[in-house]
Amino acid sequence: MKVTIIGSGYVGLVTGACLSDLGFKVVCLDKDEEKIRRLQAGDVPIYEPGLKELLTRNCAEGRILFTSDVCEAIEHGDVLFIAVGTPPSEDGSADLGHVVDVASMIGRHLNDFKLVVNKSTVPVGTADLVRAAIAHELSQRDLPYELFDVVSNPEFLKEGAAIDDFMRPDRIVIGVDEGVNKAKSNRMMGDLYASFNRHHSRTVWMDVRSAELTKYAANAMLATRISFMNEIANLADELGADVEYIRRGIGADSRIGHSFLYAGCGYGGSCFPKDTRALMSTARAHGKVMRLVSAAEQVNGDQKLLLVNRLVQRIGSDLTGKKLAIWGLSFKPNTDDMREATSRVVIRDLLTRGAHVSAYDPVAGAEAILALRTDCQDQPELLDRFEVVSEDMQALKGADALMVLTEWKVFHNPDFQLMKKMMRCPFILDGRNLYNPETLSELGIAYQGVGRRNDLVQLLTFNDSHDSFPVTPASITQELDLSVDA
């Protein structure tokens, strides 16, 4: 069985790389010709641990190739995965433009039986749209409707751990509908994922509509857990309790479990924000209101600005002349993905209040600059006060506070003494609860976590050996441009 992946982004590339590593002959198609050129040259356009190694090995062994030639790609696969983006429309609903374009493209090119597998996250009913678009094109060419089937196979991988998630899935959800091709589709999907089911079956079979909704339900549940913990954390702050104890205390209950109970400065990424909004939009279209999901989304919106609000409470709302250091720009560690990252909201707000912002991220610097350029299109001059630096300590030079926004491992155990020396005011706003408030208190570093005994917070002290902002706007702009090129 041969496999074609249509859409070579995070999901498409990981799916293609992993299936080729399991021995399938895979062709990855993308309409972005530059992306395909880079992939053909051995350059992987996204940062995902282990992906480059997997692609390099399987390319060298001739099991995966990249193309922007639609005919070649559709001809190749017995199974055609759709893995294109489903970005949010203005009203929050999923924009299915790419999915329907791909369906029409398949319909224009297929000549023998193809199993179309939808891996993109799509609202209930999308498989019907895909079927209709393919059938329309087939009817134009007098080809029979039975020449294809459409099944749903939503993806649950997490960026930053995507290869492992794909290779060791908790479950594989497959939705197949009644029809003349059902037996064949079941068999092909069974064969495709047989390697994962050798020890015990991980596949959950269902109908297509249930599979489509399963993906949204999973993401909405996880987003709700995070927002719930953030509300508990914010209350803990008021009450002098520590959310880290609470997290462990409730996580030990086997009915609750330990995952997704971390309080912090909000969730982001390409999935939770988009998928919760799309789910609410689907519900609205059917006269229903998703009250819990809506609350989770609102809590998250507020949570992204929690650290800025804390800072403003401590040093005032006008941040002119202040320098803020940021550690962590990507929406989570081990990725350079900046989609809906908390850092974007925080940095824009700080710049608008007049602050200078010096940021460090182990991999996402260049992506962050592109994202901030988009966010500040209406006021590009704000970016004169923004720089991305190449070392964590460099960001701290003369800073009035540090905000930790992403829990990259390298931030877990920094040299606090050096940090104290580097900063004008040793004040850490820890958006990911990485540090021990008592340790920092002993070191004389003012600290605020999320739900972490903020009654322990020290008075701010200022280190007069630093200017309030040592970097000139010109040097910032220069570094910004250099970072983009890099």
Catalytic residues: 271
Pick 269 or 449: Cβ nearer ligand NAD: 269
Q: Is residue 29 involved in binding ligand NAD (CB under 6 A)? A: yes
Among positions 31, 108, 109, 284, the unique one binding ligand NAD when judged by CB under 6 A: 31
- State the CB neighbour count (10 A cutoff) for residue 379: 11
| Shortest Cβ 484–ligand NAD spacing (Å) | 20
Stretch that binds ligand NAD, among 29-37, 129-137, 290-298, 473-481 (CB under 6 A): 29-37
Piece in contact with ligand NAD (CB under 6 A), picked from 96-104, 280-288, 293-301, 370-378: 96-104
Q: Which is closer to ligand NAD, CB of 7 or CB of 175? A: 7
Beta carbon of residue 327, minimum distance to ligand NAD (angstroms, whole number):
23
98 binds ligand NAD (CB under 6 A): yes
Min dist CB 152 to ligand NAD, Å, is 12
6 binds ligand NAD (CB under 6 A): yes
323-327, strands of its sheet edge to edge: 386-388, 356-360, 323-327, 401-404, 427-430, 446-448
> In the set 19, 173, 271, 423, which binds ligand NAD (CB under 6 A)?
271
Here's the x/- map for ligand NAD, 274-313, by CB under 6 A: it reads as: ----------------------------------------
Give me the least distance between CB of 139 and ligand NAD, in Å please: 21
Task: Verify binding: residue 268, ligand NAD, rule CB under 6 A.
Answer: no
The site that binds ligand NAD (CB under 6 A) totals a number of residues, namely: 26
Find the binder of ligand NAD among 3, 4, 5, 12 (CB under 6 A): 12
83 or 306: CB nearest ligand NAD? 83
Q: By CB under 6 A, what part of segment 99-128 binds ligand NAD? A: 101-102, 120-121
Query: Smallest gap, in angstroms, from Cβ of residue 455 to ligand NAD?
Result: 38
Phi, psi of 187 (to 5 degrees): -65, -45
Q: Which is nearer to ligand NAD, 78 or 101 (CB)?
A: 101
- Residue where the block lists tokens 């092909």: 188
Chain positions 395 to 454 lying near ligand NAD, rule: CB under 6 A, are: none
Whichever of 16 and 451 has its CB closer to ligand NAD, that residue is 16
Residue 340 lies near ligand NAD (rule: CB under 6 A) = no
Q: How far is the CB of 423 from ligand NAD (least distance, A)?
A: 35
List C-alpha distances in Å: 344 to 33, 55, 339.
Answer: 28, 31, 9
Shortest separation between residue 239's beta carbon and ligand NAD, angstroms:
36
Between 83 and 311, whose beta carbon lies closer to ligand NAD? 83
**Interface of this chain with ligand NAD, residues 131 to 160, rule: CB under 6 A:** 155, 157, 159
Does position 84 bind ligand NAD by CB under 6 A? yes
Q: Decide if residue 74 touches ligand NAD (CB under 6 A).
A: no
Among 3, 4, 9, 364, binds ligand NAD (CB under 6 A): 9
Tokens of 241: 């309790």
Residue carrying the six token digits 């055609």: 80
Please give the residue ranges that form the binding site for ligand NAD (CB under 6 A).
6-12, 29-32, 35, 83-86, 98, 101-102, 120-121, 155, 157, 159, 270-271
